[in-house]
Amino acid sequence: PNCIILAVSPANQDLATSDAIKISREVDPKGERTFGVLTKIDLMDKGTDAVDILEGRAYRLQFPWIGVVNRSQQDINKSVDMIAARRRERDYFANTPEYKHLAHRMGSEHLAKSLSKHLESVIKSRIPGLQSLITKTVAELETELTRLGKPIANDAGGKLYTIMEICRMFDGIYKEHLDGVRPGGEKIYHVFDNQFPVAIKRLQFDKQLSMENVRKLITEADGYQPHLIAPEQGYRRLIESCLVSIRGPAEAAVDTV
């Protein structure tokens, strides 16, 4: 919709079969942005002219038809420059009896001026809509960026900082649930006050922490030598075995929360 259509048709062919006119009519039925350009006027059969088309009687457009006379293949082969070609074009319309009265609005130079003037008006009319579209698009992108979050750094320190920020955010939200700022805190308390202790009590710690088992683990870890201080390796083994037992109920509690 923001484009200007140049419907270019040769004058030595039937305008009714022009693909340019047909296509422009499909996308711009009112002709509000279509400029009709008629070429090869100088190649029409003798006794015929394009006055009816150029004056808009054969096919009316909102903007007047503009006729142009371009360089022929022979002119191009002879390297006729554009300045000479434009001068010859002006002379053609000014000196041809059928087109004298239309000469002031014919030619490539007039086409360029008409297009520039129309383009300027189109830009002025479209600027407010483009500004609102840009503003809307920027707002949508900023909302999307906010939803996606800040960029994640590539270096290890930056990644660690991002993870700590996420953990701090989670910690704050979690505390708000426990303090009643957010709903659901009572369910979390129920998990730790009831569900988790019941699961812990079901574990058979009496077997793991029996004197026989404690003596066995310490002996296997630290040997038979006397200890001036507590046997560290043995205690570690005891703690690790208890943690393995607790892991199931602990993970279940976390999943529930």
Give me the sheet containing 34-39, strands edge to edge: 5-10, 34-39, 66-67
Average of per-residue pLDDT across 115-123: 88
Give the bridge partners for 9, in sequence order. Answer: 38
pLDDT tens digit string along 142-194?
Answer: 999 989 887 778 888 888 998 999 999 999 999 999 898 888 889 999 999 99
3-class secondary-structure state, position 71: coil
Structure tokens given for 115: 């297009």
Structure tokens given for 164: 């700590």
Checking if the pLDDT of 14 tops 90, the result is: no
| 125 band by pLDDT with thresholds 50, 70 and 90 | confident
Beta strands in the chain (DSSP E): 5-10, 34-39, 66-67
Q: Which residue has the higher pLDDT, 162 or 138?
A: 138
Say what the pTM is. Answer: 0.49
For the ranges 77-81, 176-180, 204-208, 225-229, which has the lowest average pLDDT?
A: 225-229
Q: Which residue has the higher pLDDT, 75 or 193?
A: 193
Place of tokens 């690790």: 240
Q: Is the dihedral of CA 26, 28, 30, 34 positive or negative?
A: negative
Give the bridge partners for 8, in sequence order. Answer: 37
CA distance 226 to 94: 124
Question: Would you list the DSSP string of 181-247?
Answer: SSTTHHHHHHIIIIIHHHHHHTS-HHHHTSHHHHHHHHHHHH-SS--SS--HHHHHHHHHHHHHHHH
Q: Which residue has the higher pLDDT, 67 or 230?
A: 67
The predicted pLDDT at position 210 comes to: 84
Structure tokens given for 245: 């037992």
